[in-house]
Amino acid sequence: MNAPDRKYAIIDVETTGGNARIGRITEIAIAIHDGEKVIDTFETLVNPEVSIPPFIRHLTGITDEMVSEAPFFYEVARQIVEITEDCIFVAHNVKFDYMFVRSEFERLGYSYQRRQLCTRQLTKKAFPEIGRYSLDRLIDYFNIHTEVRHRAMADVMATIEVFRHLLREDNGNNLLTSHINHGIKLSKLPGTITIEDIHAIPETTGVYYFFGSNDYLLYVGRSKNIQKRIMQHFSNPTSRSIKFLERTQRIDYEETGSEITSILREDEIIKNQRPEYNVAQRKTLKPFGLRITRNNPDTFRMELHPVLDDDEEDFIKTFKSRRSAKSFLQSVLEEFHLNDLITIEKNGTGFHTSIPESETDFSLWTENFNRLSKMLNERRNFHYAVIDKSYSHHEATCFLFESGRLTKMMRLDSQEGFSDLNPDDMDDCHPPLAINDLIISFIQKYRKRYTLMPLK
């Protein structure tokens, strides 16, 4: 039995490819289901404004000729908004269809938000004996009649049949409700916050805030999907989050678009407002740093010290704690075969390395130490303008790194290109060294997401 007044928009899209950021919709079909029957439908081919790749033409049967006279997405966008209003967005592998629909709306400057259900995930929970959960497999398992595949309305109709099996299996609506609410028990929500409030939070990159009474900031976090992350706090709380959730009166957020910007913004809030439950992040504001000094042409010295704001420039690498700094130093000395030639000695609040007095043959270790020094100084060779196009289809964010330090940033119009970047037009940006290094590591880890332009 369906929950009162709950409607489902069962949707399928055919596209020009698998990436929602660059791919376009070629066909969309929607069936509105009230939990008992289909009460409305909508389907149309869509002109994607780009050529359909041969593989996709072969898979779907949709050709460039078929979509040449079809409406553009902006011409059907209002109908899609209206027919799916107050509905739960249902699809088989919902992330794919939902992200394509959202992306098309983003190109129009509109934020399309709907609660979602994935029939693939639901059948995996409800029918664990099936084993594989592609739509083809479920069509066979449930003996669903379909004359064609990989056309939008045909796949919607097959998904409806799967959905009917799920509704029959889920008599008490517990399975569907749990998935719609991402496992959040409504009884566990603070009295001032409803599940609708959380669903209204956008599924975008940004920073979120938990406030207690009198707007006292309890906790700040960041995520690529702030709605999903906030839901996770409630559905799977840790011992720490339980404490601030019990005191939460209000949740707020900022959309940053760029994950790099969210890192900077989170650090700024923690540093300036010191939220009570961001204890771990507060500790990293004063990390340990590594510097290398040369006493004479033949001797080197590595030192680990607490990083102070007034002497950050000398450090070539930062660490969250004294323990992680010392552990790293020990591991690299071993990696470069220097552990038998260089000792680590405590020096006040930090550590330094020293060469045993008996060691006189510097040729045994100088070459290896030079290789180690080169590796450690790699950050200073990070000299790029980094373009992050994730903000929107129309805007990007540029970050300027000079000799391994983030110095400037600005928002750009993606349509104008990035060939004429002028640093004088950019805003100054000087994050703490620990945050700077975190951002560079983040960029290097997810390098494919960004455009890196070497600075002259």
Q: 271-309 pLDDT, tens per residue?
A: 899 999 998 776 655 678 888 776 665 566 778 888 876
pLDDT band at 8; cut points 50, 70, 90 = very high
Secondary structure of 8-68 as H, E, C letters: EEEEEEEECCCCCCCCCEEEEEEEEECCCCEEEEEEEECECCCCCCHHHHHHHCCCHHHHH
- Taking only the tens place, the pLDDT of each residue in 430-456 is 898 888 988 999 999 999 999 999 987
Of the candidates 282, 283, 284, 301, which has an alpha carbon nearest to the alpha carbon of residue 293?
A: 301
Q: Is the dihedral of CA 116, 219, 282, 239 positive or negative?
A: negative
Region 135-157: mean pLDDT is 92
CA distance 15 to 111: 20
pLDDT (0 to 100) of residue 217? 97
pLDDT band at 1; cut points 50, 70, 90 = very low
Residue 9 has pLDDT above 90, yes or no: yes
Residue 170, CA atoms < 13 Å, CB-side half-sphere: 24
CA distance 139 to 157: 11
Torsion, CA 193, CA 195, CA 196, CA 202, rounded to 10: 90
Exposure string for 350-362, b = 16+ CB within 10 A, e = fewer: bbbbebeeeeeee
Share of the chain above pLDDT 70, in %: 88
pTM of the complete model = 0.81
**Mean pLDDT of all residues in the chain?**
88
CA distance 266 to 224: 13
250-255 vs 206-211, strand pairing mode? antiparallel
Contact call for residues 104 and 76 (beta carbons, < 8 A): no
pLDDT (0 to 100) of residue 221? 96
User: How far, in Å, are 48, 89, 168, 236, 409 from residue 98 at the CA level?
Assistant: 17, 8, 25, 24, 31
Residue 99 has pLDDT above 90, yes or no: yes
Hey, what domains does the chain have and what are their CATH numbers? 7-180 (3.30.420.10), 186-279 (3.40.1440.10), 288-377 (no CATH), 382-454 (no CATH)
pLDDT (0 to 100) of residue 23? 95
* Strands of the 25-33 sheet, one edge to the other: 38-45, 25-33, 7-15, 87-91, 116-118
pLDDT band at 424; cut points 50, 70, 90 = confident
pLDDT (0 to 100) of residue 439? 94
* Strands of the 288-296 sheet, one edge to the other: 317-319, 288-296, 299-306, 350-354, 343-347
pLDDT (0 to 100) of residue 348? 61
pLDDT (0 to 100) of residue 361? 56
384-388 vs 450-454, strand pairing mode? antiparallel
pLDDT (0 to 100) of residue 282? 66
Of the candidates 210, 247, 202, 245, which has an alpha carbon nearest to the alpha carbon of residue 226?
A: 202
pLDDT band at 374; cut points 50, 70, 90 = confident
Tokens linked to 71:
């409406």
pLDDT band at 21; cut points 50, 70, 90 = confident
Higher pLDDT, 149 or 87: 87
pLDDT (0 to 100) of residue 209? 98
CA distance 47 to 72: 5
- Taking only the tens place, the pLDDT of each residue in 201-214 is 999 999 999 999 99
73-83 vs 94-107: helix axis angle to the nearest 10? 120
Region 88-98: mean pLDDT is 96
Region 329-353: mean pLDDT is 73
pLDDT (0 to 100) of residue 365? 65
Q: How far apart are the first and last CA of the chain?
A: 66
Region 372-389: mean pLDDT is 87
- Taking only the tens place, the pLDDT of each residue in 215-264 is 999 999 999 999 999 999 999 988 888 999 999 999 999 999 899 999 99
- Taking only the tens place, the pLDDT of each residue in 161-174 is 999 999 999 877 78
Region 112-118: mean pLDDT is 93
CA distance 198 to 225: 12
- Taking only the tens place, the pLDDT of each residue in 402-416 is 999 999 999 888 766
Neighbours of 266 (CB within 10 A): 23
350-354 vs 299-306, strand pairing mode? antiparallel
